[in-house]
Structure formats: C-alpha cells, structure tokens
Amino acid sequence: MLTASRKRSGVLPGFGLTLGFTLLYLSLLVLIPLAGLPIRSTSMGWEAFWQTVSDPRVTSSYRLTMTTSFLAACINGLFGLIVAWVLVRYRFPGRRFVDAAIDLPFALPTAVAGITLTTLYAPNGWLGRPLAKLGIPVVFTPSGITIALIFIGSPFVIRTLQPVIQDLDVELEEAATSLGAGRWQVIRRVILPYLFPAWLTGVALAFARAIGEYGSVVFIAGNMPMRTEITPLLIVTKLEQYDYAGATAVALVLLVMSFALLLMINLLQGWTERRIAH
C-alpha cells in the first residue's frame, strides 16, 4: 500500500524540478515582461494615464482594432471550419498543396504579407482593380485591415480543427442517420457540438493574434488617425516619439481588454465541454 501511495504521489519523474523550470521559463518570457507594463504606467500618475488612454485618437484605435479583429475572427471561424472539413474528409487533386499553403502566414514575414496584400488590393492591383470598378475600395480602409487579419489568422482555426475532425468517428454520423436523423440534424446534434470547443479555441487564437498584429496591417491600413490607425501602430508611433509612458499605458489597456475577452472565451469553452460531457 505504501509503495502504491508513493507511486501515485508523483505526477511526473522529477516533477518538482520540471515545475520549477516551467515557472522560471514563464516568468522570464511572459510574466516579468507583462508586469513591466503596469509598473511603467504608474510612473505617469493616474490623471496623465487616464488622459492618455481616453484620448479620442486612442479610443478610435481601440475601436478599430477590436472591431476588425472580431470580424476577421468570425470570418475565419466560418470558412476555417469549411476548409478544415474539406481537407480532412475529402481527397482531391492538389489537396497536399492546399494543405501546405495553409501554413504560409506562419512562414511568411508579416511585412512581406502586408506589402503583397497592398499590391494585390491597390486600385491598380489584380484584385483591387475589379473591386475599384464596383466602387469598393480596399487599401487604406478598415476592409483592407480586416483582409490582412483574416490572412494571418486563418491557420489557427484550420489547424486547431483538423485533428478534432480526424478523431470524429464517421460511425456516429452513420448511427444518427440510421436512427432517422436528417443531414442538418446530424450537423447540429452530432458534428457541431463535438467540434465546438476546438472551434472556439481556434477562433480565440485568431482573435488574439489579430489584436496584436502590426507587420501585415501597417502598409494596407495607411495609418490615418481616427480612420485607419490600429492600436499596435499607435503604440509604435508613441515609441518613435519617445513617449514610452504613453506607449505602455495604451499597451496596458489593450492587454487588459485582450485578457478579459480571452478569459470569457475560455470560460465559455469550459462550460461547453462540461455540458457535452454530461
């Protein structure tokens, strides 16, 4: 009994050492750098802090960043689910090429992606020219920012869903069909509940990635204050003006907003997993 108890008490071989290394690793790379934001912001005083973060130019950048990031995450959530399903369930010519191209936003430098998207969607570009004839401007508009965020966020949803779709037993769908369920009932009662936690995780990752994106957006946005100026770009502008306290204040608000939204999504994901388990 004593031997069994000792075996159960250790989660991993060398658990104490690995836990200490994990905490040290996270502290050096995540916790300490993030703690520097509120510490640096307190140096400017509450009145100056509030004046900085409530400036109309800053609040406009927050609104634009959150709106375009949320819209891009929703679009990626819809089409990412379709793409992941097609890549897993169907075999077609060029499938491996398409599957490899999904990871292109990971490998491509964000600045290169921004220049490429700006060239394609410019009024004289391959994609921008027909849109311009229809009266739909893309470059230097919120629509262009959304397109750039869709590009960099799409792999998160697809790659998160693919292994879950592979683990989804086709026999579950066949059993539901044999019991008289229609195709939409199978999708709504069997497939979507099974995929929802992973889908929500992918959308949250795409949303978080979009909030802090800079390189692929800076060229296509145009950096017009109160119109197409995103928050990461505003932070860089303040840093170039040597306004370090103002930059950290704006970054701190963005960090708090991002953390609160991600926490809500994680709580919703946990509630969904418990509901499915029961």
- Which of 76, 116, 53 has its CA nearest to residue 254? 53
CATH of domain 33-277: 1.10.3720.10
pLDDT at 3 > cutoff 70: no
Residue 201 binned pLDDT confidence (cut-offs 50, 70, 90): confident
Residue 48: exposed, middle, or buried by beta-carbon count in 10 A (0-12, 13-18, 19+)?
Answer: middle
CA atoms within 13 A on the CB side of 95: 11
- Which of 118, 103, 127 has its CA nearest to residue 221? 118
pLDDT at 252 > cutoff 70: yes
CA-CA distance, 186 to 189, in Å (whole number)? 5
Q: What are the residues whose beta carbons fall under 8 Å from the beta carbon of 70, sequence distance 6 or more?
A: 207
CA-CA distance, 13 to 241, in Å (whole number)? 51
How high is the pLDDT of residue 276?
Answer: 62
In the structure encoding, which two tokens stand for residue 190, read together? 């069997």
pTM, to two decimals: 0.83
- In the DSSP assignment, the letter for residue 29 is I
How high is the pLDDT of residue 141?
Answer: 92
Task: Please state the rounded mean pLDDT for residues 43-64.
Answer: 88
Asked whether the CA dihedral 208, 214, 216, 220 is positive or negative, the reply is positive
User: pLDDT tens, 134-149?
Assistant: 889 899 999 999 999 9
User: pLDDT tens, 80-132?
Assistant: 999 999 999 889 898 999 999 999 888 888 889 899 999 999 989 899 899 98
